[in-house]
Amino acid sequence: MGLTFYWYPNCGTCKKAKKWLDEQKLDYQPVHIVETPPSKDRLLELIDKSNLPAKKFFNTSGKKYREQNIKEKIKDADIEEMAALLSSDGMLIKRPIVTDGKNVTVGFKEEVFAETWK
């Protein structure tokens, strides 16, 4: 099974991740995270499989995160509320997200990609 690659084409980190995937000749399906953000249920599944806290899925350096004061909104939010908020706007989601249905990586660190996707 190929990978699903949630990305934003204007994002520098996403471009680096895409280049790495291409260099490894890995088969992936790109999904524009802003035009087609993952659903709340899909995000819950990704969060569960990533073994990361839901807060790690937020693009904390993003403009919308700061403008909407998301840090305060999620301080006491449960996982369902966070997934709903994330699914409402792809710009709130840390990217890229890569999954093969079993494993999930969030963001791009070459060593993590090499360990997970090679």
CATH number of 72's domain = 3.40.30.10
> Could you identify the residue written with the tokens 């403009």?
63
- Order of strands, sheet of 28-32, starting from the edge strand that comes earlier in the sequence: 28-32, 3-7, 97-99, 104-106
Q: How confident is the model at residue 69 (pLDDT cuts 50, 70, 90)?
A: very high
- What number is the average pLDDT over the span 43-53? 97
Measured CA to CA, the distance from residue 32 to residue 6 in angstroms comes to: 6
Is residue 81 scored above 70 in pLDDT?
Answer: yes
- What number is the average pLDDT over the span 45-72? 96
Measured CA to CA, the distance from residue 59 to residue 93 in angstroms comes to: 5
Q: Which of 47, 55, 63, 84 is nearest to 10 (CA)?
A: 63
Average pLDDT of every residue of the chain: 97
- The pair of structure tokens assigned to 14 is 């996403």
Is residue 1 scored above 70 in pLDDT?
Answer: no
Is residue 14 scored above 80 in pLDDT?
Answer: yes
* Structural domain count of the chain: 1
Range of the domain at 105: 3-117
> 0.85 cut: is pTM over it?
yes
Q: What percent of the chain has pLDDT over 90?
A: 98
